[in-house]
Structure 1
Amino acid sequence: MFDCFQNAQPELHIARPEFGPAVRDVLSKARFARASAEIRSWSGYRPTPLIELAGIASALNVSSVHYKHEAARFGLGSFKALGGAYAVLRVLQDRLTTQLGHKVSFKDIHTGKYSDRISLMTVVSATDGNHGRSVAWGARRFGAQCRIYIHAEVSASREEAIRALGAKVIRVNGDYDAAVAQCRWEAERYGWFIVSDTSWQGYSEIPKDVMAGYGVMAREITSELTEPATHVFLQGGVGGLAAAVASTFYQHWGSTAPLNVVVEPELASCLMASAKNKSPTAVRIQRETLMAGLSCGEPSELAWDILEQSVSAYMTIPDDLVAPAIKLLASGQSGDTRLKVGESAVAGLIGLFCGALNPKLRDRLKLTPESRIIIIGSEGVTDPEMFHKMVTDDLPMDGAEPA
């Protein structure tokens, strides 16, 4: 069941974080609290399950593994629902406040007080899929127009899911970073409002709001666990998810917060490169990874400020481990609850498998029989065709459906 992970040779880079002020101040407790209070008030909000995988924990000789399963988040299928939509609300609030010369509240927007003005506003974003769905959903929810830019390799099903939420979808030749570039250029030309989950020079407040939304997920975890985990394995990408979780956990648990391990595809390892160079470093994506949501060649500078001060280890993993991990969760081979998940959801789990089963990596990651692990299951099946290809005919035909 675990042979392919045991035999894998992922690259591991050990860092020595100092937990400086960025972990406390870039995303402050007050910003997290404001996002949490707003998002928890939305219709359809409910915490996603934190599922204990006792069979996997036993097989890996660790004390516990808890999997945060984001498949049902607001019906959008991923944790991204928390960030993009909330940031759309904040953009509209700030723009209206500027136009009108007085503070506009969230309540004013929810009740449609300024719907005529909002209907003339356009929010835009580049995406691999899930963030764009959240932005489109937020724009529809609050009454704004929306344009979403996707790159050449984004699947047709992900494109259609965004279009179904009322957004105009623009497909760009090239990779994710090319989509970001065109989105920025057209937004500046036409006066549209970018809602991005990555930051750059002069653009940081909106990504802060996106990451503050992600903090809702992390806060749900801290409210449910009776003691802190020892390790959390986090997806890479531009770094926003990892930064939000690391900040939330440190602000809640302090010196007993988990050791943070960032896991990203070999084909898109900008955070590993940044860690080695000790500064934000872009990498050229020569081939798209199966983990579509993590196919990012340039880190968020804002997220990097946090990660540099909070991450203890960086790991890169090959694409050929994605399907085995998805099959393992979907089939329940470990004796645990069967889970249907997407490609990006298993990055942290793969990192744990490789780290726990390789004696050298296990020692370097300080994994022991007493270790308590958190895995962020960042998405459900957001691309059904890809999921079908991954699992083929290997699921048991007992009539039971994975969650």
Structure 2
Amino acid sequence: MFLLNRHPDHRQPLAEEDAATLGLAGAEEAGRFLAARDNHAETPLHALPSLAAELGIGALHIKDEGKRLGLGSFKALGGAYAVMHLVLEEAGRRLGRAVAVEELPKAEVKAIAAQMTFACATDGNHGRSVAQGAGLVGARSVIFVHSGVSNERVAAIARFGAEMVRVAGDYDQSVREAARVAAERGWIVVSDTSWPGYERIPGLVMQGYTVIVREALERLPEPPTHVFLQAGVGGFAAAVAGHLAIALGNARPTVTVVEPARAACVYETAKAGRPVTIAHSKPTVMAMLECYEPSLVAWRVLSRIGDAFMTVEEEDAVSVMNRLARPAGDDPAIVSGESGGAGLAGLIRAAGDNKVRAALGLDANSRVLIINSEGATDPGRYAELVGMAPDQVANARQPA
């Protein structure tokens, strides 16, 4: 399915609060927080000339967030960033002065953090980030996971010291349960989705993601003309698209939002022109994108700067995993998890459809940016789908 944005807000400026969250100053602050962390190396940006030629476009670059902060996902930038921010704010209130990120290791700040509990719901990656962030500052974390989250992903979160709570049902039900229990017990919910009256913390999570764009723009030979961004609740797509729009202004790229056909809440929201909750379908292999209700903040951004919305099928996601693991020509091998390559799956599907190509202005001069949003966050599942272990792929062929 493919849909151009017909919303009356399309191409209107971002709302003032969203421009502040996703703007240059916010991205700079997120960068400062990142620099204060161990293992904060910039993630690689790969050129894939062979695949670009095959798709009939001028250039294709993939930013590989599978290398981010040892967590294997772009979400390492969001939840942990919000946790650190909230601890510093609380420390500032209690100490009666501004507290800098460099002060997080100090005993007086650690003592305050130790009295704070952070909770969230997750499909896997966001929970790892919140748990890691809480561990970094010495706070407690309680992570709610639904029945579809694999035991391997649960164990990966628990390794950071989080208390794990299983919830019957799907992701959206786990979000509601996390919010209910946190309200009862005075915990702080760090969610990557937003709802009426709860926007600021998801905004901080999104602000953390702007680091990806800053790094990419510094490395790209020319700014992209197109981006294909995968969406679950839409926060990642909105953060990347929003910062690109602010950084590049009228030269911003055409933004296409890509979702699994089985969980296309942002697509259906775009179709309806307002946020909608969709019916549950069969589980999708793109488990990190399996969401049935969009983030309100994300939709407010995407209604303005999302130019098109589309869906991809289960086999598209698996095909991309295999294509990146076994590249053609001199393209590098990239480990991409089940949800990580959904944006590329969207590009491949769009490039193969003449009507969609024309609608998006995809041609031999197009410069496309894709974000590989996760590596093999469930190595066993990855090996099952690709026929190779993640380490085999990672060591197969890398650029000189």
1:298 aligns with 2:293: yes
Tell whether the 8 Å contact from 2:24 to 2:247 is kept in structure 1 after alignment.
Answer: no
Tell whether the 8 Å contact from 2:227 to 2:370 is kept in structure 1 after alignment.
Answer: yes
Query: Unaligned regions of 5+ residues in structure 2, if any?
Result: none
- Distance between the aligned counterparts of 2:299 and 2:261, measured in 1? 19
Per the TM alignment, residue 334 of structure 1 is displaced from its structure 2 partner at its CA by 5.3
Per the TM alignment, residue 394 of structure 1 is displaced from its structure 2 partner at its CA by 11
Which residue in 2 is equivalent to 1:202?
197
Which residue in 2 is equivalent to 1:80?
75
Distance of aligned partners of 1:334 and 1:152 in 2 relative to their CA distance in 1, 3 Å threshold:
farther
User: Residue 155 of structure 2: SS of its match in structure 1?
Assistant: helix
- Letter of the 1:240 counterpart: G
Which residue in 2 is equivalent to 1:45?
40
Equivalenced residue count is 392
Tell whether the 8 Å contact from 1:26 to 1:306 is kept in structure 2 after alignment.
Answer: no
Among residues 15, 26, 31, which one is paired with 2:5 in the alignment?
15
Which residue in 2 is equivalent to 1:376?
371
Tell whether the 8 Å contact from 2:72 to 2:375 is kept in structure 1 after alignment.
Answer: yes
Q: How do 1:102-113 residues align onto structure 2 when only pairs under 5 Å count?
A: 102-113=97-108
Which residue in 2 is equivalent to 1:339?
334
- Distance between the aligned counterparts of 1:252 and 1:229, measured in 2? 12
Tell whether the 8 Å contact from 1:215 to 1:248 is kept in structure 2 after alignment.
Answer: yes
1:35 aligns with 2:23: no
Per the TM alignment, residue 164 of structure 1 is displaced from its structure 2 partner at its CA by 0.7
Query: Unaligned regions of 5+ residues in structure 1, if any?
Result: 1-10
- Distance between the aligned counterparts of 2:373 and 2:169, measured in 1? 25
Which residue in 2 is equivalent to 1:130?
125
- Distance between the aligned counterparts of 1:142 and 1:398, measured in 2? 34
The sequence identity of aligned pairs, in percent, is 40
- Distance between the aligned counterparts of 1:398 and 1:149, measured in 2? 32
Q: Deviations over 1:270-319 (max 9, x none)?
A: 10111111111111222221111101111110111111000110001111
Q: Deviations over 1:15-69 (max 9, x none)?
A: 1521313263453332222112221232211111110011100101100000001
Per the TM alignment, residue 82 of structure 1 is displaced from its structure 2 partner at its CA by 0.6
- Distance between the aligned counterparts of 1:296 and 1:146, measured in 2? 23
Tell whether the 8 Å contact from 1:222 to 1:252 is kept in structure 2 after alignment.
Answer: no
Tell whether the 8 Å contact from 1:330 to 1:402 is kept in structure 2 after alignment.
Answer: no
Stretch deviating more after TM superposition (28-37 or 42-51): 28-37
Which residue in 2 is equivalent to 1:3?
none
Structure 1 runs of 4+ off > 4 angstroms?
Answer: 397-400
Per the TM alignment, residue 391 of structure 1 is displaced from its structure 2 partner at its CA by 1.1
Distance of aligned partners of 1:268 and 1:195 in 2 relative to their CA distance in 1, 3 Å threshold:
same
User: Residue 72 of structure 1: SS of its match in structure 2?
Assistant: helix
User: Residue 120 of structure 1: SS of its match in structure 2?
Assistant: coil
Per the TM alignment, residue 383 of structure 1 is displaced from its structure 2 partner at its CA by 0.5
Among residues 166, 170, 189, which one is paired with 2:165 in the alignment?
170
Structure-1-length-normalised TM-score: 0.93
Tell whether the 8 Å contact from 2:124 to 2:149 is kept in structure 1 after alignment.
Answer: yes
CA-based RMSD of the aligned residues comes to 1.9
Among residues 143, 149, 156, which one is paired with 2:144 in the alignment?
149
- Letter of the 1:280 counterpart: P
User: Residue 108 of structure 2: SS of its match in structure 1?
Assistant: coil
Distance of aligned partners of 1:334 and 1:174 in 2 relative to their CA distance in 1, 3 Å threshold:
farther
Tell whether the 8 Å contact from 2:141 to 2:162 is kept in structure 1 after alignment.
Answer: yes
1:211 aligns with 2:201: no
Among residues 364, 367, 377, which one is paired with 2:359 in the alignment?
364
